[in-house]
Structure 1
Amino acid sequence: METTYDRVRELIVGGAFPPGQRLTELDLSQRLDVSRTPVREALRRLESDGLVESGQRGVTVIRLSDAELREAYLVRASLEALTAELAAQRQQAGEIAPAALARLTGHADDADRATRAGDLIAGVRHNREFHRHVAVLAGNSLAIGFLDRVWDRILVSTRDSLAAPSRTGQVDDEHRRLVGAITAGDGPTAAALARDHVLSTLSALPGGTSR
């Protein structure tokens, strides 16, 4: 069952509320047709997640500075290197079902198809699903939780940049190489590819740098 927290989080991550927008309990309760109590609790939880912040203007959607965004990408790079390596190790040990591994290729196909078609919203969604499925294959629930929070913070600040239309072919090639390393059970290569892929995305952002 979807909670008020889930619904508000989806609105923020989905772009309904842009960075810096003020959120009020009254407006959200009317929009979601719920009382103000669950909205208040949801906003408190979202603040602990780093998606909203309290200040003189009340509660507002976060707006990451360039430095904060870079920090988020560096954390994401480390976490995704870890999950890629763990997924490859599990593949090498025969712990991943063929159907589960095939879904990773399916997510890569969906991301590439949507991005080439110019559907940035779907491209971002499928791109995230691809990377999250790597974490699922890693079998580490703690890593998944941390990655979800980092991805949310990045998406709120850079919804379109993750699709990166200017480097569509490069993104797809990097995805395919990562799938290949995981399929081959090559942990060190999978980790290196995952980390480099995230840092390459960071470098493609306006003003971004991976160093």
Structure 2
Amino acid sequence: MQQTESARAKLRDLIVAGAYAPGQRLTETEIADALAMSRTPVREAFRALIADGLVRSAGRGVQVVALDTAALRHAYQVRAALEALTAELAATRHAQGRIAPADLAALVEDAEQAEATTLAGDFAAAVTHNRRFHTRIAALAANPVAAAALDRLWDQIVVSTRASLDPRGRPAHVNVQHRELLAAIREGRAADAAAAARAHVMDTLGEGSD
């Protein structure tokens, strides 16, 4: 089980990082060699990643999934609903005094780093800090089901949109939206936080970036 989870985590990271392109076919032998593992945990990792929606069965191996336009739209719609929920829950918990000051400070730091790297045109860092900001909000919501579902959706969206991502796309707009979302959470305005999160995600639907 431990080897299987290790294989799944390593292969998932490689796919999300772009080491394997959408549509690329992967075989058990190839991945076992790349990860220095036997084929058995790799085979189980393939099954787990199929369930996660990152790969699909392809003969004796798997193929990295690329969501088509309709599937990508559906993924964004579900992500928008889930991020609205987690933002609302985070704002509510903060208003109730259930979020530690250090955790809120970490969220502020994530937002600041996302903004700085976006403005600097450091695309790789901006993507990392942006996802960390949104993941932090999901963690502050304290709803593990929503957080896990969001994590899978993020993976699928990143893999399917990587080729079209442009760090120059709309940095000022993204940063303004992040600040609005952060302010709503910090001030305990649950409905506003939900609306800001939903609008932010849906604005990216036709952009291919976040």
Structure 1 residues 133 and 162, CA gap change in structure 2 (3 angstroms): farther
TM-score (norm 2): 0.93
Q: CA-to-partner distance for each residue in 1:82-115, whole Å, 9 max, x for gaps?
A: 0000000000100001110111111111112222
Where does the alignment leave 5 or more consecutive residues of structure 1 unmatched?
A: 207-211
Amino acid at match of 1:202: L
Return the alpha-carbon distance in structure 2 between the equivalents of residues 160 and 91 of structure 1.
37
Match of 2:141 among 138, 145, 149: 138
Name the counterpart of 1:107.
110
Name the counterpart of 1:78.
81
How far 1:124 moved relative to its partner? 0.9
Return the alpha-carbon distance in structure 2 between the equivalents of residues 128 and 25 of structure 1.
30
Q: CA RMSD in A?
A: 1.7
TM-score (norm 1): 0.93
Match of 1:61 among 56, 59, 64: 64
Return the alpha-carbon distance in structure 2 between the equivalents of residues 179 and 162 of structure 1.
24
Runs of 4+ in 1 over 4 A off after TM superposition: 160-164
How far 1:168 moved relative to its partner? 0.1
Return the alpha-carbon distance in structure 1 between the equivalents of residues 142 and 166 of structure 2.
26
Return the alpha-carbon distance in structure 2 between the equivalents of residues 55 and 155 of structure 1.
21
Worse-superposed segment, 110-119 or 2-11 = 110-119
How far 1:58 moved relative to its partner? 3.9
Name the counterpart of 1:32.
35
Native 8 Å contact 1:51 1:61 kept in 2: yes
What percentage of aligned pairs have identical amino acids? Answer: 53
How far 1:56 moved relative to its partner? 4.7
Number of residue pairs matched by the alignment: 206
Q: SS of the counterpart of 1:130?
A: helix
Return the alpha-carbon distance in structure 1 between the equivalents of residues 166 and 108 of structure 2.
17
Q: CA-to-partner distance for each residue in 1:93-142, whole Å, 9 max, x for gaps?
A: 00001110111111111112222222211111111111010001101111
Name the counterpart of 1:209.
none
Worse-superposed segment, 39-48 or 116-125 = 116-125
Native 8 Å contact 2:28 2:61 kept in 1: no
Name the counterpart of 1:44.
47
Q: SS of the counterpart of 1:54?
A: strand
Return the alpha-carbon distance in structure 1 between the equivalents of residues 43 and 87 of structure 2.
37
